[in-house]
A and B are shown apart, each in its own frame.
Chain A
Amino acid sequence: MFVRGLKRKCFDGEEDIEGTLAGIKAIPSYNLQRQSLLDMSLVKLQLCHMLVEPNLCRSVLIANTVRQIQEEMTQDGTWQMINTQSTGQASLDRLVSTDILCRSSRDSAEGKHVPAYGTFNKDFESDQAQDRTETMSTASSVQAPRNLQSNVWEMENPQENKGNFQKSLDQIFETLENKSPNSVEDLFSEVDNSYYDLDTMLTGMMSNTKMGHCDSLETFSPPTNTASNSNCKSDLSDLDHIVEILVES
């Protein structure tokens, strides 16, 4: 998959038509693979076991991988491309559904927005007061280019995609660093039981979809149902639809 430099040469070879949308579509597999790797990485960072401190080495390695992909995407111009393409469009990414699912349960509990990586940054909470009504707010940096307005990490003014992305990574390390020692306690104090159920469900859903992703690329894991894949990739524009997905999985 990503192992051989061959793929990249292939990509580089088609640079002359790359400038156009058609060019991007002509080599969807590499972008798709890269995107799925990015999604996978962000999910890994997000779904860490909350009772025991996450493994710092693993988190750092995953975060570095995410950074590497983001840098490459910026260089390729893919980052900007996606941005201009789908502003305001409902996110198609499975990861977004994860965010919304995570957030929807907590939001309903306290009416606040929760950053994707499970951190409760008190500064951010006060800033996000205005975003309360947004349903499509994205914590994932991947969504930042797609939906500038609704990025949770954003402050008042829209920022550079890179800045948002960097902030997301920053949040991860802030959790790990426990700069705000009360944050995790707050998390536990405000979370209700439904969170843990959601977590199990998500993990189940994730493992289903995870299998599907790498399946086409390697014969490593046996083929699993692609139904959940399509579920995740379907349009998610409102909470009803999200609930539907929850029920299905």
Chain B
Amino acid sequence: ADIISTVEFNHTGELLATGDKGGRVVIFQREQESKNQPHRRGEYNVYSTFQSHEPEFDYLKSLEIEEKINKIRWLPQQNAAYFLLSTNDKTVKLWKVSERDKRPEGYNLKDEEGRLRDPSMITVLRVPVLRPMDLMVEATPRRVFANAHTYHINSISVNSDYETYMSADDLRINLWNFEITNQSFNIVDIKPANMEELTEVITAAEFHPHHCNTFVYSSSKGTIRLCDMRTAALCDRHAKFFEEPEDPSNRSFFSEIISSISDVKFSHSGRYIMTRDYLTVKVWDLNMENRPIETYQVHDYLRSKLCSLYENDCIFDKFECVWNGSDSVIMTGSYNNFFRMFDRSTKRDVTLEASRENSKPRAVLKPRRVCVGGKRRKDEISVDSLDFSKKILHTAWHPSENIIAVAATNNLYIFQDKVN
């Protein structure tokens, strides 16, 4: 199994897609809940597996293009088939996933194996009929959106008009129409005329969930810009600019690096945005640009370890963050296979671990604690014992229920609320 690089539920939560470093997409489907086994609430089983992207070689630059899937985004379902966008560093693809459970039998010109029949042997005409067959799930690439990005794509986002979507790389954001693959509109371009002056890159971007003209993008300097596509064709001038003033007492050489935003997500309501930087998760009200309304410490005990984390490159890890369906709880990952949940209303938080060794299937997860000081209590783990190779960068929350998917390197964990 390869390292999982993205996890995403579809709009109903019936399907869960994962992308991995090897360019594969694996889709899980939730079982229908059966009345016979009420304690087994719909579990997720593999529904479809396909190779989305292959490694490529850019001959012009003599560089490899990784096949790793950076993001998957589902389209809302409009017919029996499912559609999703998957992207690697350079190319976005639209995949159609459909079921086939019937097949036609009784062709006149072909026999059952598909071989051509001798026309002189045909004496009778018949009408082919559809007969049931074993369920087959097929994935076909319907569109390939290529050659529009010079830099590495970090985000894709489907617009609420369901006709367009955007793809963002380090310096540019392009707007696509699903039907047109040979053209895209450039809507944001922060590339300086002189690359020597480059000091900031785009790190994530997302469309507003309801307003199809609005989107946000975050930067490596810890800022978020909200843009309105109605104002101009090129949205280089933001409509809103979200930035928190720096805390002078916490200033260090690493201040800028840890302020770099790794993920930005609109709340389902569209009223708030959530950003993740290295040590915190912040919730912003769209109507207040000068500071976030809530700040949650994910793993503040790492603040004194920044030099080592810079040395081993962990400081550049890009953690994602997610909202639950009602926007009342937010979740993000950490190291040592820990992930954190913050309840916005009660202000309570919990640290849980995604690990087979430390929890049995169907057992209730035990909250974990990291000890910072000298005295370590029995169940606590000390900061120095944390395994920084076990990082949870990608998580997803079911759109309406309390089911979460957590990717721990090459394992996928699915957790549900405990049923009484």
Contacts and interface: CB of A to CB of B under 8 A. Distances in A.
Interface residues of A, number: 44
Interface in A55-71: 55-58, 60-61, 63-65, 68-69
B63 A51 contact: yes
Given A2-B252, A5-B249, A173-B195, A184 B311 contact: no
A220 B305 contact: yes
Contact of A40 (B257, B306, B310): B310
Given A53-B152, A57-B220, A220-B305, A185 B62 contact: yes
B260 interface: yes
B256 A173 contact: no
Contacts, number: 109
B254 A2 contact: yes
A230 to B, nearest CB: 19
Given A61-B316, A210-B311, A68 B152 contact: no
Given A2-B253, A53-B152, A60 B62 contact: no
A57 B201 contact: yes
B198 A173 contact: yes
B138 to A, nearest CB: 32
B66 interface: yes
A178 interface: yes
A248 interface: no
Interface string A162-198: 0000100110011011110100110010000000000
A30 B338 CA distance: 34
A169 B63 CA distance: 21
Contact of B196 (A3, A173, A213, A214): A173
Contact of B152 (A3, A55, A64, A214): A55
A185 B62 CA distance: 6
A157 interface: no
B62 A188 contact: yes
Interface residues of B, number: 42
Contacts of A2: 252-254, 306-307
Contact of A166 (B195, B196, B306, B309): B196
A57 B384 CA distance: 28
A218 B384 CA distance: 10
B249 to A, nearest CB: 6
Contacts of B89: 53
Contacts of B316: 55, 57-58, 61
A135 B112 CA distance: 77
B53 to A, nearest CB: 14
Interface string B358-400: 0000000000000000000000000010000000000000000
B220 A61 contact: yes
Contacts of B253: 2, 34, 37, 65, 68-69
- Majority SS of interface residues in chain A? helix
A227 interface: no
Interface string B162-185: 000000001100000000000000
A55 B310 CA distance: 15
B200 A60 contact: yes
A178 B151 CA distance: 11
A5 B171 CA distance: 33
B120 interface: no
Contacts of B252: 2-5
B140 interface: no
Contacts of A179: 195
Contacts of A51: 63-64
Interface string B247-261: 011111110110010
Interface of A: 1-5, 34, 37, 40, 44, 51-53, 55-58, 60-61, 63-65, 68-69, 166, 169-170, 173-174, 176-179, 181, 184-185, 188, 210, 213-214, 217-221
Interface of B: 60-66, 89, 151-152, 170-171, 195-196, 198-201, 203, 220, 248-254, 256-257, 260, 303-311, 313, 316, 384
9 contacts: A3-B304, A37-B253, A68-B256, A169-B196, A176-B195, A184-B63, A185-B62, A218-B307, A220-B307
Given A173-B198, A221-B308, 19 more contacts: A1-B304, A2-B254, A3-B252, A3-B306, A5-B251, A37-B307, A53-B89, A56-B151, A57-B203, A57-B260, A60-B200, A61-B220, A64-B199, A65-B253, A166-B196, A169-B196, A210-B311, A217-B307, A220-B305
9 closest A-B pairs by CB? A220-B308, A170-B196, A177-B195, A173-B195, A2-B252, A56-B170, A1-B307, A2-B253, A3-B252
